[in-house]
Structure 1
């Protein structure tokens, strides 16, 4: 836990509704009287926005992808997350280290330990107080991804997305991440997330 603010990460596979739920949670925290910073990875800083474009649309080797994610994260922690927590703000991030562990560590087969070591270097000791994983079925994921303009990750094979989903579930069981059923209606998911946040962090 951070002495100042609290750090919550919203995770899940493509199409799981992370961005919507991160925004909903940030709004509720503000309504509860907390200064709240809503951010995302990749792209939570000005330099990160440029990296996001390369990461989502470029043609990259798996190791290059992992290194660029770590570079984005290092700047994100230094410029946004660390200062916000230090002044007592709450931070809600759409993706953080767990995304790298499952996408590059498992999805790209670089190994969870190798990617975690890289992420540890990038984060300089900052870690979330709560990780929420939105889990949706493979069929729902496929339908939601098909309805959007897909980026490089969303265009990956169904096998890739299935590996990522299983990695989230497996790592959640090992690391105390909270899995939330993302197949439910948006308002129901938001209420479940708020209930978990209240139980764990008492906002």
Structure 2
């Protein structure tokens, strides 16, 4: 890159490049050189903004986690609208979009990254998926308060089951994503006996 040319929001540019590499070639192909080449910047740019490549990867995942946290208020605000299953389908389809599935593969692929993220989050479980389960549990609690989810439903367990089943449905990076009707069918089965 020529000197004197300012990069606009270089972190986002590098995150977007990493996501493209993940989608195209998978976690094994994600290197600092691949990211900077995809972003069209010198390799030193990444190291100017991040301590090392692991710091970059952890920041990428933490950015994704922050997006989930930001989406939680909107999901809770949707309580009482549409059906519970319809609200959850939207969440699962957005959560398990191809980039998120690729990032989960990255977390699974890199033990050091997973350990770093657990320390940064101060929570056990798979980073990103744990936050998504907490978001769904909070939504289901809001629906409980409205009487649309049974008062005795274990919303934490239900949320974990939805995340696990959703991940299994969407996890094949090379395959076709499940249709909305397939997701609806899963939600109908998973929520049987849970809805008020």
- Judge same fold: TM > 0.5, yes or no: no
TM-score, with length taken from structure 1? 0.36
- Between structure 1 and structure 2, the one with the greater Rg is 2
Greater RCO, CA 8 A, separation 6+:
1
Greater strand fraction, Structure 1 or Structure 2? 1
TM-score, with length taken from structure 2? 0.37
Greater helix fraction, Structure 1 or Structure 2? 2
